[in-house]
């Protein structure tokens, strides 16, 4: 399966996906990485792995529709069959999302449906939750909504601040996204009635990945 990855920043999740695709027998490969920001660190990550990159700078487009049309054109030209948002910080139009329905994944650093949107770690701390985590889900037009493929639970520890919590969750993200991608490329994560049904060797498995906090 040819995968297109959308990024806006440093690309640590992109790196985890690249490493997953390099595993023997992995049924997907990254055909193109697109950044909406010219200086995104993830571009260098892709280039170091020999993966074609493209910058489509949203600032050069007057509307979201024209930006998304360019994004779509580039993905189609590269033969992309599955889109992975990896720290892609643009809201996509309904038209784009509908076109890639059930063929676009996103990772979000909270246990959705809790803490959608931005500043999630500070909001989790402010709410006093004891467990948070990350979620990989199929993209839907509503922000941070869509059928959940897999989640990882991460504890909030005494003394945490937004940075320490973000770092602990990021480690879990790097395990979760490759796992979720593997399930999807192998056809073992199917959307049925807006829920994801997972299959493992013919048997249903839980979508939860519990990642211990200890190093």
CB 1 within 8 A of CB 79: no
CB of 38 to ligand GAR, least distance (A): 15
Should residue 151 be labelled a site residue for ligand GAR when binding is judged by CB under 6 A? no
Nearer to ligand GAR (CB atom), residue 87 or residue 207: 87
Q: How far apart are the C-alpha atoms of 192 and 199, rounded to whole Å?
A: 12
Q: Are strands 148-155 and 195-200 parallel, antiparallel or unpaired?
A: unpaired
Structural tokens at position 29: 């490969």
Should residue 173 be labelled a site residue for ligand GAR when binding is judged by CB under 6 A? yes
Determine which residue in the list 1, 9, 64, 160 makes contact with ligand GAR, applying CB under 6 A. Answer: 9
Nearer to ligand GAR (CB atom), residue 25 or residue 39: 39
Should residue 86 be labelled a site residue for ligand GAR when binding is judged by CB under 6 A? yes
Number of other CB atoms surrounding residue 60 within 10 Å: 12
CA 90 to chain centre: 13
SS3 117: coil
Q: DSSP assignment, residue 60?
A: G
How many binding residues for ligand GAR (CB under 6 A)? 13
With contacts defined by CB under 6 A, name the span among 26-34, 105-113, 181-189, 193-201 that binds ligand GAR: 105-113
CB of 203 to ligand GAR, least distance (A): 30
Number of other CB atoms surrounding residue 140 within 10 Å: 18
Q: Which of the residues 21 through 60 are near ligand GAR (CB under 6 A)?
A: 42
Nearer to ligand GAR (CB atom), residue 143 or residue 198: 143
Should residue 95 be labelled a site residue for ligand GAR when binding is judged by CB under 6 A? no
Catalytic residue among 108, 121, 137, 174: 108
Determine which residue in the list 3, 4, 13, 18 makes contact with ligand GAR, applying CB under 6 A. Answer: 13
Buried b (16+ CB within 10 A) or exposed e, 188-215: bbeeeeeebebeeeeeeeebebebeeee
SS3 9: coil
Is position 174 annotated as part of the catalytic site? Answer: no
- The residues of the shown chain that bind ligand GAR, judged by CB under 6 A, are 9-13, 42, 86-87, 107-109, 170, 173
Residues with a catalytic annotation lie at: 108
């Amino acid at each position: 399966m040819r995968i297109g990855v959308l990024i806006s920043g440093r690309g640590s999740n992109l790196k985890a996906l690249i490493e997953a695709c390099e595993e023997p027998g992995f049924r997907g490969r990254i055909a193109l990485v697109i950044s909406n920001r010219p200086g995104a660190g993830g571009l260098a990550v892709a280039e170091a792995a020999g993966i074609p990159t493209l910058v489509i700078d949203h600032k050069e487009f007057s509307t979201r529709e024209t930006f998304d049309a360019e994004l779509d054109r580039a993905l189609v030209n590269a033969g992309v069959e599955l889109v992975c948002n990896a720290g892609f910080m643009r809201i996509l139009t309904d038209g784009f999302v509908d076109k890639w329905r059930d063929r676009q994944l996103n990772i979000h650093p909270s246990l959705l449906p809790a803490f959608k949107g931005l500043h999630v770690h500070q909001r989790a701390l402010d709410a006093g939750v004891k467990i948070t985590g990350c979620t990989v889900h199929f993209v839907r037009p509503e922000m941070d909504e869509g059928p959940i493929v897999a989640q990882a639970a991460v504890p909030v520890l005494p003394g945490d601040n937004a940075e320490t919590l973000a770092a602990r969750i990021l480690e879990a993200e790097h395990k979760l996204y490759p796992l979720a991608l593997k399930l999807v490329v192998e056809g073992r994560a199917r959307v049925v009635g807006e829920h994801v049904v997972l299959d493992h060797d013919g048997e249903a498995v839980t979508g939860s990945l519990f990642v211990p906090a200890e190093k």
